[in-house]
Amino acid sequence: MSVNDRPSGRPASQPPKPYESAFLKACRREPVPHTPVWFMRQAGRSLPEYLKVREGVAMLDSCMRPELVKEITLQPVRRHKVDAAIYFSDIVVPLKAIGIDLDIKPGIGPVVAEPIRTRADLARLRDLTSEDVWYVTEAIGMLTEELGTTPLIGFAGAPFTLASYLVEGGPSRNHEHTKALMYGDPQLWADLLDRLAEITSAFLKVQIEAGASAVQLFDSWVGALAPADYRRSVMPASAKVFSSVASYGVPRIHFGVGTGELLGLLGEAGADVVGVDWRVPLDEAARRVGPGKALQGNLDPAVLFAGPEAIEAKTAEVLAAAEGLEGHVFNLGHGVLPTTDPDTLTRLVASVHERTAR
């Protein structure tokens, strides 16, 4: 059975639904009891309990063990009382699942053994089936049971960011091979992004059908592009991903770093919620995105190192800029930095809840 024709029904003993949660209401731009909060990278290296359960287990191996994924995903929900869980995985997991030879090297990030740069290489990007990622379905089944009314966010890397890892062979500052392909062979580039859009769509569908109640598409590196190039060379693939999951009716969040000039286009690609990094205040971001979308963000993750008074002041600034928004999900402007004191995160959640209680 392909991912596309899987029934979307849940088992007979249905877990309590997160539909009325503050997080999903904010995504739908409905009134909320308080501004919901979650953090990108809320699970992971900032938490001692994460470091403990990860001891001796390689990153990608940990993503393929449902019990461990469940435990790691729940850790920040228990500790910080965030309004949503994010499925513990990594953006390269679906590529690994279709047989791409890659690893996540500690201190470096994803490294691809044989980069994808020619038309012949495209054949290595086969379709993803739900069987390839059986552990995702199993982990999400367990998670939604335990989470009850707390929503679970599924996620995937967007075609451009995945292409950057595949073409460069690893993390890259300037994306020179990626851009060389994009500008130098537009047809091969379009075919590569379309292939990645198919894989990403299938991966998000698996997560939604297993019980994820929102999804976030991470286009982390797309801020490296000018708007005209984004519109021409990247937006069609990202739009294909968003439209492929539209019929499920779950909120679709779109996030990238350094995307101030692209915010309108990130929304236009088909997002219900646009994620904003710390470089653009939320009121200005709302003008750039236009009506009909919620925003997510945008405290600079480095502010969490500045001490309680500065954290409170910067939090108040973010909330003030968010005051007139149609919908606001509080988050950092990018992932939690690994050396962040987790207590600052717990206090931040409580502070946002207190300041915005209605």
Binding stretches for ligand UP2 (CB under 6 A): 40-45, 54, 59, 86, 88, 90-91, 104, 106, 109-110, 155, 171, 218, 220, 335, 338
Interatomic CA distance for residues 147 and 136, integer angstroms: 16
3-state secondary structure at position 211 = coil
Burial of 187 (0-12, 13-18, 19+ CB in 10 A): exposed
Q: Buried b vs exposed e over 84-119: b needs ≥16 C-beta within 10 Å? A: bbbbbbbbbbbbbbbebebbbeeeeebbbeeebbee
**Comparison of 88 and 189: residue with beta carbon closer to ligand UP2:** 88
If you search the block for the tokens 């205040």, which residue do you land on? 281
Q: Is 42 annotated as a binding residue?
A: yes
Cα 77-281-249 angle, rounded to 5 deg: 50
- In the sheet that holds 152-157, the strands lie side by side as 85-86, 152-157, 214-218, 252-255, 273-275, 294-299, 328-332
3-state secondary structure at position 214 = strand
**Comparison of 109 and 115: residue with beta carbon closer to ligand UP2:** 109
Residue 290's region, left for phi above 0, alpha for psi from -120 to 50, else beta, is: left
For residues 141 and 10, the answer to whether their CB atoms sit within 8 Å is no
| CB of 154 vs ligand UP2, minimal distance in Å | 10
Catalytic center residues: 41, 45, 54, 90, 165
| CB of 31 vs ligand UP2, minimal distance in Å | 27
| CB of 46 vs ligand UP2, minimal distance in Å | 7
| CB of 219 vs ligand UP2, minimal distance in Å | 8
Q: Is 45 annotated as a binding residue?
A: yes
Residue ranges of the annotated binding site for substrate are: 41-45, 90, 165, 220, 334
